Structure 1
Amino acid sequence: MNIEKYRLTAERYHQMLTIRYDIKREYLTLGIPVFIALMIVVMALITGHSFVTDEAAAGGAAVSDEAAAKQAAYEQLVAEMEAAEAAERGEVVATEEEEVEPETEEDKPKDDLDHIMVFAILVAIIPYSIDSFIEKRNLQKREVAFSEFLYKLSELMRGGIDPVKGFINLSKTNLGAISTHAQDAASSMVLGKSFEESMHRMSDSMKSRLVSRYIDVVVQAAYTGGNVADLLFRTSEDMRSVIAIQREKEANLKQYIVIFYLAQGIIVMLTYILSTSLLPLIQGVGMEMLGGAGLSDIDFERGFFHMIILNALFGGLIVGQITEGEIKHGFKHSAILIALSYVACVTLLLPAGVGSTYMVTVVSGDAQEVMGGIPLQQPIIFNITDVDGNPAAGTFVKMTITPTGVITSSMTEDDGTVTVSPVPGSTAGTYVVTATAGESQGTATIIVNEGGGD
């Protein structure tokens, strides 16, 4: 009893607020989620999250960290060479070991703003897409129920009952999805409102353009007189035909939904093949015409990730416009495509994921002295393990060589090792090979001599 009382009280306050402030469903299903999504992005920016491509704009923090690691590796190599020379002369060199403070979570770069924005987009559009889907289903049920209502009203009028009385009698029966709307209109007629005004009020509450057109026909037929019962019967049959045509058209257009979903899957697979097969073969190629920068300095995987998510968002909207005639019905397709594409990208295109940490160590091939412009005689082997020391098999390792040179990125073997044979530049000096797995890096050095190597 108390539950029913509270329910009636809640409905009364809901009606009061709706009538007084004209609260629309979009305020709750679209406005509030969009506000929450914006707050998520703002809080992410305040807490230091950024895009990976914002390295230069942010002061080059990530670049300076990589340069510092390479400089430290170079200094360590020089110290080892000096120690070896001193040992040959019989001198004892005291080595100073610097304590390296482990990088804390606060010191790590928070370059996952694009991932946060994906979640924010889903938070913004999922409630509205669900509400639009449910509202359309209910609208279709109301249109079918109204066509049945017109048929029943025509049968009552064939028996000699006038439209107003027949309408009131039908409102007392179970009319399915339009029972509440019919009861409200019947109550208006009982209270003295005209048949036309009550029917238009019913049309407004049902929010259907199709129902609105046929209600105008019913009102005009009731006022002009004649064989109204036959007119209502033909109107009911005509409305059923229109509904059947709409259903058939939507069924025929569903093939485009399948096409768009398959196209999105093909895009994901193509970018995966490019990232794992083609790009690693050309990423290390030097590009002197671009100021000496190499393709390895470009984060193709992240760019592909952004392209796939944007294509999922706008592709879903296009699907809704084509198949259902309104962009708002495409939000559900956008939400599904974004969610599936994000999972696929994190699993395939960005295998390291967000926040993944590995241990990268050099097994062999470090500190070689070679001639410039030719591959190393002894390849460099890196060992990639997870935080527990287990081999990280099948992990994508991005390889770079500075200042110039040719190197190929690769995937780890079953034992967690990855083997590379870089080609350093022709200029004499020290070259640094960097292996990047997730957020972890390991370095090896190559010394290029002017006259040749050992």
Structure 2
Amino acid sequence: MKKMDILLKITLITTLVGITLAIFNLVFLSSLSLSIISILIIPVGPFIFQYRKYRERKEVEERFPDFLRDVAQNIRTGMTIPQAIKSTKDTYYGALTPYIKKMIVQVDWGVPLDKILTRFANRTTKPLRRTVLTIIDTHKGGGDIADIFDSVGKSIVEVNRINKERSSIVHNQMLTGYIIFFVFIGVLIMMQIYLIPSLQGISSPELGLSDFEELNRFYNDIFRILIVLQGFFSGLVIGKLSEGSIISGLKHSMILVIIGSLALLIFI
């Protein structure tokens, strides 16, 4: 809970800083570069918040089979189901630990297993929710709970393994996305260094540009906007392909936009 409170504060601070910077720039400076910086600052907090939640959900999914295996082993040693669950209270399951502690509290209150699992399922992701509901239905059908926990845990581990193999397979596609973006940056830099100077002496009245210096700044600003747009959407695509999530793509978006902006600052 403390981590989430900190993330919420970070989100609020970065959003306020970005909006304040954008208003200040709009009123006093009218600088496109500063506008881009303020645009980049605003989503930093929400991105950190959402990505943290995404990583925690993934960790819960990955550690849930460990919990099921431990409970199944405890049941086989002769413990009752409530005792088997309570015996895991000192085991650390990463992001899953707070959920387990809530389960143990409910066990102490005498809440039935089906209700405990249903409440847990309602607080987790859809894939894990379906898995827990399967456990509940099978348990109601009279199956051995230890065997159910074991088989479901193994199924989750297998699904996680397949997902990791999928991620490694599409790794080349992720690299391709980065390479395409770097080529795009290279083309813009070459245009700014070699093509735009060749237009020296040419004015563009229809654009409101009376001299080469204004023309140079005009294209420089256009290239910065293109870098931000290309980096942002390329990152989303890379994240969707590599990890199957738009939220994870925000990480790649931030990386690409920062790299592209730095490249323009250094080489132009």
Instruction: With the length of structure 2 as denominator, give the TM-score of the two structures.
Output: 0.83
The equivalent residue for 1:314 is 233
The equivalent residue for 1:222 is 139
Q: Specify which of 181, 184, 206 is matched with residue 99 of structure 2.
A: 181
In structure 1, the gaps of 5 or more residues are 1-10, 15-22, 51-112, 350-454
Tell me which of the two structures has the higher relative contact order, counting C-alpha pairs closer than 8 angstroms and 6 or more residues apart: 2
Q: Is the 8 A contact 1:125 1:331 kept in 2?
A: no
Cα distance change of structure 1 residues 224 and 24 upon mapping to structure 2, 3 Å threshold: farther
Bigger-Rg structure (1/2): 1
Cα distance change of structure 1 residues 183 and 309 upon mapping to structure 2, 3 Å threshold: closer
Q: Specify which of 238, 259, 263 is matched with residue 340 of structure 1.
A: 259
Q: Is the 8 A contact 2:54 2:247 kept in 1?
A: no
Is 1:154 paired with 2:135?
no
Superposition map of 1:392-407 within 5 A:
none
**Aligned partners of 1:180, 1:34: CA distance in 2, in Å?**
29
The equivalent residue for 1:192 is 110
Superposition map of 1:22-171 within 5 A:
28=9, 30=11, 32-46=13-27, 48-50=28-30, 113-170=31-88
**Aligned partners of 1:211, 1:287: CA distance in 2, in Å?**
60
Q: Is the 8 A contact 2:51 2:248 kept in 1?
A: yes
**1:148 partner amino acid:** D
Alpha-carbon displacement from aligned partner over 1:9-52 (angstroms, at most 9, x marks no partner) = xx7xx7xxxxxxxx988854545533431221012222x211xx
What secondary structure is seen at the aligned counterpart in 1 of 2:42?
A: helix
**1:267 partner amino acid:** F
In structure 2, the gaps of 5 or more residues are none
The equivalent residue for 2:201 is 284
**Aligned partners of 2:125, 2:241: CA distance in 1, in Å?**
20
Instruction: With the length of structure 1 as denominator, give the TM-score of the two structures.
Output: 0.52
**Aligned partners of 2:104, 2:127: CA distance in 1, in Å?**
21
- Extract structure 1 runs of 4+ deviating beyond 6 A: 23-26
Cα distance change of structure 1 residues 129 and 255 upon mapping to structure 2, 3 Å threshold: farther
**Aligned partners of 1:287, 1:124: CA distance in 2, in Å?**
35
Superposition map of 1:287-298 within 5 A:
296=212, 298=215
**1:278 partner amino acid:** L
The equivalent residue for 2:174 is 257
**Aligned partners of 2:33, 2:210: CA distance in 1, in Å?**
26
Cα distance change of structure 1 residues 238 and 287 upon mapping to structure 2, 3 Å threshold: closer
Identity %: 18
What secondary structure is seen at the aligned counterpart in 2 of 1:344?
A: helix
Cα distance change of structure 1 residues 251 and 134 upon mapping to structure 2, 3 Å threshold: farther
Determine which structure has the larger strand proportion and give its number: 1
Deviation at 1:231, TM superposition (A): 2.4
**Aligned partners of 2:247, 2:5: CA distance in 1, in Å?**
16
Cα distance change of structure 1 residues 260 and 277 upon mapping to structure 2, 3 Å threshold: same
What secondary structure is seen at the aligned counterpart in 2 of 1:225?
A: coil
Superposition map of 1:201-216 within 5 A:
201-205=119-123, 207-216=124-133
Deviation at 1:156, TM superposition (A): 2.8
**1:264 partner amino acid:** F
The equivalent residue for 1:300 is 219
Determine which structure has the larger helix proportion and give its number: 2
Deviation at 1:304, TM superposition (A): 1.8
Deviation at 1:244, TM superposition (A): 0.8
Superposition map of 1:374-393 within 5 A:
none
**Aligned partners of 2:204, 2:71: CA distance in 1, in Å?**
80
